[in-house]
Amino acid sequence: MAIFKGAGVAIVTPMQKDGKVDYERSRELIEFQIEGGVDAIIVCGTTGESSTLTHEEHLDVIRYCVKAVDGRVPVVAGTGSNCTETAVYLSKEAEKSGADGLLLVSPYYNKATQNGLYRHFKTVADSVKLPILLYNVPSRTGCNILPETVVRLCRDVENIVGVKEASDNIAQIARLAALADGAVDIYSGNDNQIVPILSLGGIGVISVLANVAPGQTHDICQKYLDGDVAGSLREQLRAMELCGALFCEVNPIPVKKALELMGRINGTLRMPLSEMEPDNVRRLKKAMEEYGIL
């Protein structure tokens, strides 16, 4: 059974001006997402700046999110690492914290072989009982999880159930869907490809866009899943300019600025991420105004 169907938000981690995690704003964002109709919350992923959280902060943010959500929607915790031992540790602790599932990014920098990826993910999965989604984002990790490897893992390992596909390669995702024959829950990892991936048998998205437009992102998925393909496509196309603006600089710089413009957070980032360029802020603001969220 899928962890969730529809729109899961890859939620940001709000920071105070001094760089500490802002838990009060985090709770407010969680409520905004649930009220907006998101189908799951993905915490401590790329958008949540997990790479610059200490292990203690990382786990505290997961625990806080689980408590704040209080079972209203599934919470999927990002617990991946380029160190298998670290990924095992974070995954075990997230399971103890009450997370409903895990998201495991492929090991970055190491650039493991496909066999190495298989062993890494299987080792982590064998250490917990929670359902697991793989996360394929080669533009960040330098490592592509091939369709054959994804299918092999989902068939061999009971609690590896799907993949967040952010390779930006529709042909590869189509091949994955063909090889999987229903054995892999496929989620779009790119907001500008939600409908194309749903059309290939995907069941949802893990979304940056949902941070600022939870209801609209939910509708793109729900309309498609309900059979209203034309309505879903209209919503997808209407969001395209905003999707582009949200990725005109490296994620999560633009989405944190967008939430700041909406008055929801102060937009603080952790280095090495830096303040958004003025021209890009203007582009983002215009896209938000045209989309009707500012």
**Residues classed as catalytic:** 135, 164
Sign of CA dihedral 228, 133, 159, 43: negative
Q: What is the DSSP letter of 71?
A: T
Contact between 94 and 62 (Cβ < 8 Å): yes
How far is Cα 40 from Cα 101, in angstroms, rounded to an integer?
A: 10
In whole angstroms, give the CA distance from residue 136 to residue 68: 28
Enumerate residues 6+ apart whose C-beta is below 8 A from 241. 287, 290, 291
Burial bucket for residue 129 (CB in 10 Å: 0-12, 13-18, 19+): exposed
Round to whole Å and give the CA distance between 168 and 61.
29
